[in-house]
Amino acid sequence: MAAIKLAHNLPDEAVKLVPMLATGDKIQDRPLAEIGGKALWTKELERALIDDQIDIAVHSMKDVETWRTDIFVISAMLPRADVHDRLIGAASIDDLKQGARVGTSSPRRAAQLQRLRPDLQIVPLRGNVATRLAHIDAGEADATLLAAAGLDRLDMTEVGTELSLDAFLPAASQGAVGIDRLASRADIIPILEAINDVETFTAVNAERAFLAAVGGNCHSPVAALARVEGARVRLRAEIFTANGAELQSGERLYAIGGDGPARLAQELLGKASAELRGIFAS
C-alpha cells in the first residue's frame, strides 16, 4: 500500500487494505504438505480477486503455488528482503546438543539440518513467528529455523543467528513479496509496473521456473537462489533426499530469458539416484 501511494502520489484514502486470515494460518497442528499445500495461504485471496472484493492480492512469494491457473498473474514484486535463514535457540548448528530437537515443518530445512547433523531430531513446528518462538520457550523443541525476512519485518533484527547460504540455501522465492491480479484486469498493469523491482521479479521467476522444471512442491526438499548480474542470471539450486543423505547441487549463469532453470533441473535430476528422482518426478 505504501509503495503504491508513493509511486503514484496518492492520498491515504485512495488505497484500502482488506485484511484476510488464510486457512494456513488457522490450521497449525499439521505439516503443510498434509493439509493441502501452499494453496492454503492463497486461496482466500484468489477467491476475493474473482469475487471482485479486492483489486490486487499481496502474497509472500514462497507461499505461491508453482503451478497456477492462468486467470491469475503475479504482476510485480517489491525489493527482496534478506534471503537467509536464522537459527533460534543456539549460537550455531554445531552448538546444538547431541540429539537436539529442532522444530520445523519445512522439508528443505529438515534435509539441510540432517545432512549436517544426522543426530538431530526433527519435530513438526508451524505457526507464525510468535507462535514458533513460544514453542521454543516452552521447551517443545530446543531450536528452530526462521526466515530472516519475516523476523526483520517484525523489527526482530537481532533475533537468531544468521546461517550461511553455503549450508542453508533458501527456499525459492524466500524474502520476496508479490502482487497478484486477475489476468483480465489489464487496467491495473500500469499501477503495479511503477512499484515492480525488476531484479527481484527476474530472480524469483528464475527460481520458480526451476521448481516447475524439477517438479518441486511443498513435499520436496529443494532450495534455489538466483541473482541478477547485468544481463544475466546466476542460479544456484539443490535437491535432497528427505534425510539429507543425498544432495545434488549445481549452478548456471545464463542470459535473462534463457532456459537456464530447465537445464539446471535436468542436470540435477540426471545426477540423482533413483530414490532422489522419485521425490521430484511429476
Q: Does residue 26 form part of some domain?
A: yes
Strand pairing report for 177-182 and 72-77: antiparallel
Q: Does residue 2 form part of some domain?
A: yes
Same domain, 182 and 215: no
Same domain, 234 and 192: no
| C-alpha to C-alpha distance for 190 and 261, rounded to whole angstroms | 28
Q: Which amino acid is present at 99?
A: G
| C-alpha to C-alpha distance for 108 and 67, rounded to whole angstroms | 19
Residue 118 has pLDDT above 70, yes or no: yes
Mean pLDDT of 198-223: 93
Same domain, 247 and 281: yes
pLDDT computed for residue 230 by the predictor: 97
Same domain, 16 and 75: yes
Residue 31 has pLDDT above 60, yes or no: no
Which of the given ranges, 15-29, 108-122, 212-226, has the highest pLDDT on average? 108-122
Same domain, 189 and 66: yes
Q: Does residue 35 form part of some domain?
A: yes
Tens-place pLDDT, residues 152-206: 999 999 999 999 999 999 999 999 999 999 999 999 999 999 999 999 999 999 9
Q: Is 63 a known active-site residue?
A: yes
Q: How confident is the model at residue 8 (pLDDT cuts 50, 70, 90)?
A: very high
Q: What residue ranges in the chain does DSSP mark as E strands?
A: 57-60, 72-77, 85-88, 101-103, 121-123, 143-147, 161-162, 177-182, 222-229, 232-240, 247-255
Q: Name the domain boundary from 104, 139, 162.
A: 162
| C-alpha to C-alpha distance for 231 and 120, rounded to whole angstroms | 42
Mean pLDDT of 16-23: 84
Task: Count up the domains in the chain and report the number.
Answer: 3
pLDDT computed for residue 195 by the predictor: 98
Domain limits for position 9: 1-79+176-196
Q: How confident is the model at residue 30 (pLDDT cuts 50, 70, 90)?
A: low
Which is catalytic among the residues 51, 63, 95, 166?
A: 63
Q: Does residue 44 form part of some domain?
A: yes
